[in-house]
Structure 1
Amino acid sequence: MTQFTLADLKECMLLAVGYDDSVDLDREILDEPMGELGFDSLAVMNVAREIERKYGITVPDDSLDETMATPRKTLAYVEGLLSEEVSA
């Protein structure tokens, strides 16, 4: 099974914002709200698209505010999607 780590998420986050120097992900971010990390709803959608592209899964847009509210929630959500893919 493919694992989705914090390093993987950080890479997708940086790709989504074009490696913006104002985005600091080199600190403890797991429980920080995405908005406080500099990711508005459009940026979170872009993170979801990067995850889809890299892992070949579908991340539905309808619940991103809940499922991707923090990096910790995002990790758990994507791990769940990846395990569903393996089960299918």
Structure 2
Amino acid sequence: MSELTLSRLVDILRECAGEDEAVAAEGQDIGDVELEYLGYDSLAVMEAASRVKREYGVELPDDALAEIRTLNRFVGAVNEALASAAAQRSA
């Protein structure tokens, strides 16, 4: 499975929780902006994580989700889980 990108995560969040004005500006570097500032609460993060699980086949534990504060951290956590799953399959 391919890696999750920042662009794809933004699309998933928009589909799950709607589009916030803070995220609407295309081309704006929002990767390190706090999710809360972007208008996404913990419910939106959990819904996006569920969507990622369906699309990418990896699940982020609840404690890991609670620590995610930015889009870049979300993408990083998913891609780390993908790499770990791939390593386990090839071992």
Q: Deviations over 1:27-55 (max 9, x none)?
A: 22111101001101111111111111110
Structure 2 spans left out of the alignment, 5+ residues: none
SS state at 1:63 partner: helix
Q: Distance in 1 between matches of 2:48 and 2:22?
A: 13
Hey, what's the Cα distance between the residues in 1 that align with 2:4 and 2:33? Answer: 18
Segments of 4+ moved more than 6 angstroms: none
1:35 match: secondary structure: coil
User: Structure 1: which 5+ runs fail to align?
Assistant: none
Q: Which residue of 1 aligns with 2:64?
A: 63
- Backbone CA RMSD of aligned residues: 1.7
| Cα distance in 2, alignment partners of residues 50 and 79 from structure 1 | 14
TM-score by length of 2: 0.81
**What is the CA–CA distance in structure 2 between the aligned matches of 1:37 and 1:50, rounded to whole Å?**
19
Q: CA deviation at 1:71?
A: 0.7
Which structure: larger Rg? 2
Aligned residues: 86
